[in-house]
Amino acid sequence: MTLEPIAVTAAALRTALGNSRSEVLRRALDGERALANSAALEGAGTSDRTFAASGASNGADRAEDLLARALADALAEAGVESPDRLRDRRTHIVVGTTLHGMRHLREFLRGGPAKGAGLLTAGSVLSIAADRCGLRAAGVTISTACASGITAIGIACDLLRAGDADLVLAGGYDPVSEFSHAGFDSLRLLASDAPRPFAQDRDGMRTGEGAAILALERERDARTRGATVLARVAAVAESSDAFHLTQPHPDGDGAAAAIAEAISRGGDPDLIVAHATGTDANDLSEYRAYERAFDDRLSSIPVTAPKSALGHTLGAAGAVDAALCIAMAESGRIMPTMTRDCDLDRDSFPHLALVTKPMSCTLSRTLNLALGFGGSNAALLLDHRGAAPPGSHAARTPARSSVPRFEIPPDHESPADEILITGVSAIVPGACAAGESIADMPALVSGDVDDSLLAPLVDARAARRIACVSRLVRAAVRLAIDDASLPADLLTRVHAICATQHSAIGYSLDAYREVIEGGLGGGNPLLFAESVPNVPGAQCSLAFGIRGPAISVIGSRSAFVEALMIARARMIARGVERVIVVAAEERHPRLDEVLVAWRLAKNGDAMSAAGAVAFVLERADAARARGARSLAQLGAVSWLAPATRHWRRIVDAGRELLAASIGRVDAPARPGPLGRLERRMLGERLGETLGAELHAAGPALLAARRIARRESGTVLALDSFGAVALADFRALAAEAPHSRALQESRSR
């Protein structure tokens, strides 16, 4: 099966070195660094320097400001300065981050109003940023830690190739913050001065900030509308180390696998843009990955390390480097690494062709790598052949592309026309169940899930110091894969997608409180590592040895349906055989306080609950080949952002989506404005509801109950920032196992 070419028609960039890719490249070629004291870093002293972007808000809304500016820049370059021009095009936003609105949490913990804390969610940041540039588009935020920017680009390509979108604005953002600065300091990863990747005296990284947004379209659509094609996405490849929460695999196993997959699809690059944080373990691991992927070819490929000039932009890093790849291809010049040639550690990196001075070069293909906490790895290969030069305009008639279509591996030769659910589990306060027994679970009540309920499902030593949400994910996935009778050898190759609105909120609050009390030197390494929002996905990978991508969809009440959409797109566009989707939420008293402040609940109402729900999704041919029992079929997944947050428009948007849904519709429908909107949308079609707020896991629990009862239906997820999402599930008749092997595995 061939993959349709995806064109990059804009590459907006905002970093400490400038607010466009050309400006950033020019200043980097001149040898500039922007490491300095900055008022943007809360609580900074004279020695606390960072790479802060210029012109962004110094307030709690710095993330929204950075992202809004980058989105507006990308729209302008793509030729859609007026969002009204997007009305007839299905437009999505997919962004990655590690900090989302964490700066809002600072004000709350320092005595600010609880309503302000509600703005820390990634859904809030994205909604506000899109609103500021007049953009109404369905948006999703993901996290694979510092690999998030490339992961977002990969998801965008999936949505385009699966036919779920016509234009996707994809990339990443992260502001500077005392939270991340103190966290990296607690892990002893901050450099004494500017970072020196691959140097003999390298001693760490420095936090920076940035936002980078690429406009992505199917190439035939871009040509038809006369857009300028800056580059093509030749390959996006992702993997997990399944090794450690904060340390990379010492031999670069996962990174080497991602690189090898990327170059097998798109060919060797003319330039490698390295992740290269300047920490000892990261640089060694990354170099070994390059050696394994390129062998004796490595010494002939130039390598540059932008973080030496820009700092580590965290969730934006992969997208920042992608924009720089386009800038370097346009100019024919490679930016240097700010490590002097005489300082290069040649004993450790003998075959590294590090660019330490500006270099002229014609670039056909570039590869950039991003590595994140939890063992997330992502490689992006861009093809620059035939791209229009800067300032030119493509013909305004459809043009037949002479660019070769990129091949996917031969073991993925057919699309996923039919997606089956072969395992399901649910864990709520006081109960856990899998498969059909979920139908007999008691009604949801507010409260925590007692650890005694999880103990039989989670390794005690591994779970001793991990966050509540991590324990819930591990337990729910264990139940679901057992219910699906999924063998361990297949687990290593699955994709895992974890949905959560608040992730490890307890650890995040505790970690930030220690920073406030102890200053920038008061970070707690244990709390910080578990508070990164991709921790549910990372813990899923670590617990079950998953070497495929492990992604967290974060920050919205509709995250579960967004995760289903991503899973479906991957199975159709990439031929992925199996995806585990899990939704999980902690309960915390401060969350209830925020719900009341936003009038989403009243004091005395049943408040929030902790819980997790997991699904095993399989392509029909893969499920039948192993004789799996099928519980249900995943039908349509719909996702829409209304033109306004006004309730009438939200109701109209919901009803528009609901027109094609199946029968009755289950919805959380709690007291408060969201419940009222859900009831207005559904009327007599309202099916089952919940008795407590389970956030992103709420729609997942409703879906699990419907599947357990073998009933067809639709689940509605409505986010407080305006997103409306629906997922259809089609019941399948109960069936006997298809193989003796399945019966034997169940008896074991």
| Residue pLDDT, tens place only, 582-607 | 999 999 888 888 888 877 777 766 68
% residues pLDDT > 70 (the chain): 91
* Structural tokens at position 257: 């696998």
With bands split at pLDDT 50, 70 and 90, how would you rate the model's confidence at 396? very low
Bridge partners, residue 612, by sequence: 427, 584
H-only helix segments in 199-312: 219-224, 253-266, 280-294, 307-310
- Cβ atoms within 10 A of the Cβ of 31, count? 12
Can you give the pTM of this predicted structure? 0.93
Known active-site residue 312: yes
Residue 553: HSE in the Cβ half-sphere, 13 Å Cα cutoff: 27
| Tens-digit pLDDT profile for residues 522-571 | 899 989 999 999 999 999 999 999 999 999 999 999 999 999 999 999 99
pLDDT of residue 671: 72
**pLDDT at residue 349 is higher than 90:** yes
Q: Residue 502 and residue 608: Cα distance in Å, rounded?
A: 12
pLDDT of residue 125: 94
Known active-site residue 146: yes
pLDDT of residue 619: 96
pLDDT of residue 398: 33
**pLDDT at residue 295 is higher than 50:** yes
pLDDT of residue 47: 65
Average pLDDT over every residue of 722-738: 77
Measured over all CA atoms, what is the biggest interatomic distance in the chain, rounded to whole angstroms?
A: 75
With bands split at pLDDT 50, 70 and 90, how would you rate the model's confidence at 419? very high
Bridge partners, residue 213, by sequence: 12, 171
Average pLDDT over every residue of 660-675: 82
With bands split at pLDDT 50, 70 and 90, how would you rate the model's confidence at 108? confident
**pLDDT at residue 407 is higher than 60:** no
**For the chain, what's the residue count?**
748
Residue environment code for 449-478, b if the CB has 16+ CB neighbours within 10 A, otherwise e: beeebbeebbeeeebeebbbbbbbbbbbbb
**Beta-sheet pairing, 665-666 with 713-718:** parallel
Considering only 106-115, 388-397, 642-651, which range has the smallest mean pLDDT?
Answer: 388-397
With both helix axes pointing from N to C terminus, report the angle between 505-518 and 178-186 in degrees, rounded to the nearest 10: 90
Within 8 A by CB and 6+ apart from 472, the residues are 427, 449, 454, 584, 585, 586, 610, 611, 612
pLDDT of residue 389: 58
**pLDDT at residue 408 is higher than 60:** no
Average pLDDT over every residue of 654-663: 81
Average pLDDT over every residue of 69-81: 91
Q: Residue 468 and residue 466: Cα distance in Å, rounded?
A: 7
pLDDT of residue 87: 60
**pLDDT at residue 348 is higher than 80:** yes
Q: Which helix H or strand E contains 158, and what residues bound it?
A: helix 148-161
Average pLDDT over every residue of 210-236: 95
Within 8 A by CB and 6+ apart from 307, the residues are 195, 197, 205, 208, 275, 276, 277, 278, 313, 317
Query: Is residue 209 within 8 Å of 53, Cβ to Cβ?
Result: yes
| Tens-digit pLDDT profile for residues 11-67 | 999 999 999 999 999 999 999 988 888 778 887 765 688 999 988 888 899 999 999
Q: Which residue spans of the chain are classified as CATH 3.40.47.10? A: 2-390, 419-502+555-747
Query: Is residue 145 within 8 Å of 534, Cβ to Cβ?
Result: yes
**pLDDT at residue 392 is higher than 70:** no
- Catalytic residue of the set 92, 104, 275, 588: 275
At CA 506, angle to CA 545 and CA 62, rounded to 5? 100
- Strands (DSSP E) found in 343-407: 353-354, 359-360, 365-372, 376-383, 406-407
% residues pLDDT > 90 (the chain): 71
Query: Is residue 474 within 8 Å of 542, Cβ to Cβ?
Result: no
- Cβ atoms within 10 A of the Cβ of 696, count? 30
With bands split at pLDDT 50, 70 and 90, how would you rate the model's confidence at 735? low
| Tens-digit pLDDT profile for residues 689-698 | 998 999 999 9
With bands split at pLDDT 50, 70 and 90, how would you rate the model's confidence at 403? very low
Considering only 131-145, 316-330, 542-556, which range has the smallest mean pLDDT?
Answer: 131-145
What does each C-alpha distance from 30 to 359, 476, 535 come to in angstroms? 12, 53, 39
Structural fold of domain 419-502+555-747:
Peroxisomal Thiolase; Chain A, domain 1 (3.40.47)
Average pLDDT over every residue of 141-152: 97
pLDDT of residue 642: 62
pLDDT of residue 742: 37
What does each C-alpha distance from 384 to 21, 33, 51, 397, 474 come to in angstroms? 16, 27, 29, 21, 42
**Dihedrals phi, psi of 43, to nearest 5 degrees:** 70, 15
- Catalytic residue of the set 92, 104, 249, 312: 312
> Can you say whether residue 656 is alpha, beta or left, with left for phi > 0 and alpha for psi between -120 and 50 degrees?
alpha
Average pLDDT over every residue of 121-132: 92
With bands split at pLDDT 50, 70 and 90, how would you rate the model's confidence at 134? confident
| Tens-digit pLDDT profile for residues 281-293 | 999 999 999 999 9
Mean pLDDT over each residue of the chain, to the nearest integer: 89
Within 8 A by CB and 6+ apart from 87, the residues are none
Q: Residue 240 and residue 378: Cα distance in Å, rounded?
A: 9
Q: Residue 433 and residue 435: Cα distance in Å, rounded?
A: 7
With bands split at pLDDT 50, 70 and 90, how would you rate the model's confidence at 467? very high
Please give the residue that has the higher pLDDT: either 371 or 678.
371
Average pLDDT over every residue of 640-650: 68
pLDDT of residue 596: 82
H-only helix segments in 332-457: 451-454
Please give the residue that has the higher pLDDT: either 680 or 403.
680
Bridge partners, residue 190, by sequence: 205
Residue environment code for 58-96, b if the CB has 16+ CB neighbours within 10 A, otherwise e: eebbbbbbbbbbbbbbbbebbbbeebeebeeebbbbbbb
pLDDT of residue 39: 77
Average pLDDT over every residue of 451-465: 87
pLDDT of residue 118: 84
**pLDDT at residue 409 is higher than 50:** no
pLDDT of residue 324: 98
Query: Is residue 265 within 8 Å of 381, Cβ to Cβ?
Result: yes
pLDDT of residue 206: 92
Superfamily of structural domain 2-390 = Thiolase/Chalcone synthase (3.40.47.10)
Known active-site residue 738: no
- Catalytic residue of the set 133, 146, 468, 540: 146
Query: Is residue 707 within 8 Å of 634, Cβ to Cβ?
Result: no
**pLDDT at residue 482 is higher than 70:** yes
The 3-state secondary structure of 570-581, one letter per residue: HHHHCCCCEEEE
Residue 732's Cβ-count burial label (10 Å; 0-12, 13-18, 19+) is middle
- Cβ atoms within 10 A of the Cβ of 662, count? 17
